[in-house]
Amino acid sequence: MKSISTKLALEIAVVLVVIMATFGMLESVQRKEQFTHFLDAKEKSTLNALTLMLGEFLFFMNTEPVNNIVTSYLSDQDILAIKILEGGEIMLHSGKDLETGIIHDFLQEEVQPAQYPDTILREVPILYENTELGRLEMTFSRQFVHVQIWRSLTTLIRNLLLIVLVECVMVVMLIRRNVSNPLRYLTQVVRKIANGNMEMQIMSGVSSNEIGRLLQALKAMIGQLQAVITGVKAVAKAVRQNSQEIHVRVEEMAAGNAEQSAAAEETAASLEQMVMTIKHNSENAQHTGTIALQAAQDAQDAEMAIKETMIAMQTMAEKIASVDDIANQTNLLSLNATIEAARAGEQGKSFAVVAAEVRSLAVQSRDTALEIAALVDSSMRLVDNVGERMIHLSPAIQKTAELVQEISTASQEQYLGAEQVNRAMQQLDQITQQNAAVSEQLTTIAAELQKQVEHLEAAIAFFHTDLQGE
């Protein structure tokens, strides 16, 4: 695992290499341009000088010094081959071998012209007094440019490596002093915190840079953590005590709810029985009220019948009186008939017998009418007495029917009230059962809370602070 100093040194080295390589490339390009301009000027001056000499020799047809002049020019390392053309024909073509450096006349030695890398071909006319006598072709080497550039690059790379090496050593030393060592100490502090040790003391006198401020912030954080952990321990202890108290109170409430539920069930059962009794009494009262109303109606009907009976008996008494009058008159008539029969003598004896019988019947009819009249009078007195009693009894029966009806209505209202009370007791029983269920849930929650508090205390106990004294 690489340290931060090594990583930073490598990163800085890479940045420096890139920067210096960029500047090296720029310098190489500039050097190449400089050397190219230098070679261009050299090639131009060489061509001018050689064409002047060749023009004079060719004009005077003096070709013997030409080979010597060409050979002397080919001794220059930058000139590889020279070709002279006259009238479209090759007059001279010489070049040198790059490996051996030997100069060859390609026309006389019948050697194939060599192929040269990194070259440039220059062609100019050979003039004498503005008359073109032929053409000159010279092949120049550009190896000098590449060699010089390679030498500069080699020097640059060597200097770059030296600078990078020195820089890496200095960066590593500075980073170890200002970064790695404080970070290593910071790592030890954080590792102690991770192990639960909150009693360490952060060293003082650190620098005021980012790492120093980080150490100071870590010191403040440790102080805050110590205070927080101590507070959490105190809170956990208080919560544990309160959860135990809640657990006890919830158990007591659960027991009270159980007793209340049992009492509510008994009360509900008693109320239900009372409701059934009230309902039965209400039904009986309604039935009695119906009978009382029917009795009142019957009493009214009996009163009317008695009145009609009195009227009929009065009519009967009048009729009996008429029968009595008829019997008296019949008796008088029979008496007169007897007298007349006695006056008639023998002829009236049979009629006298009939008259005597009629008289006897009239007397019997009168006596019977008197007896019937006496019975009718006695019956009228009895019926009148019964009528008077019925007159007094009918309002009492009516009042009784009304009272029974009121009792029936009150019983119905009492039944409805008892039914509402019964439903309320059933709802109370349900609420009590729900409270019992909630109490059980609270008991479970209190137990779970106590377990969580124990886990919290176990987790907090992992940290060791110099403030704990529990």
pLDDT 10s digit of each residue in the chain, 470 long? Answer: 556 667 777 777 788 778 877 877 787 778 778 878 888 898 899 999 989 888 888 888 777 788 888 889 988 888 889 999 988 888 888 898 878 888 888 888 777 777 788 888 999 998 888 888 899 999 988 777 677 778 877 887 888 788 878 877 887 787 777 777 777 777 877 887 778 776 666 666 556 677 777 777 877 787 777 788 788 878 877 887 887 777 777 777 777 777 777 777 777 777 778 778 877 777 777 777 788 777 777 777 777 777 777 787 778 777 777 877 887 888 788 778 778 777 777 776 676 777 777 778 877 877 887 788 788 778 777 777 777 776 776 677 777 777 777 777 877 777 787 778 777 777 877 887 777 777 777 778 877 877 887 777 777 777 666 544 44
Residue ranges of the domains in the chain? Answer: 4-178, 240-460
Query: In whole angstroms, what is the distance from residue 292 CA to residue 135 CA?
Result: 163
pLDDT at 416: 81
pTM here is 0.35
pLDDT at 470: 42
pLDDT at 467: 47
The topology under which CATH files domain 4-178 is Beta-Lactamase (3.30.450)
CATH of domain 240-460: 1.10.287.950
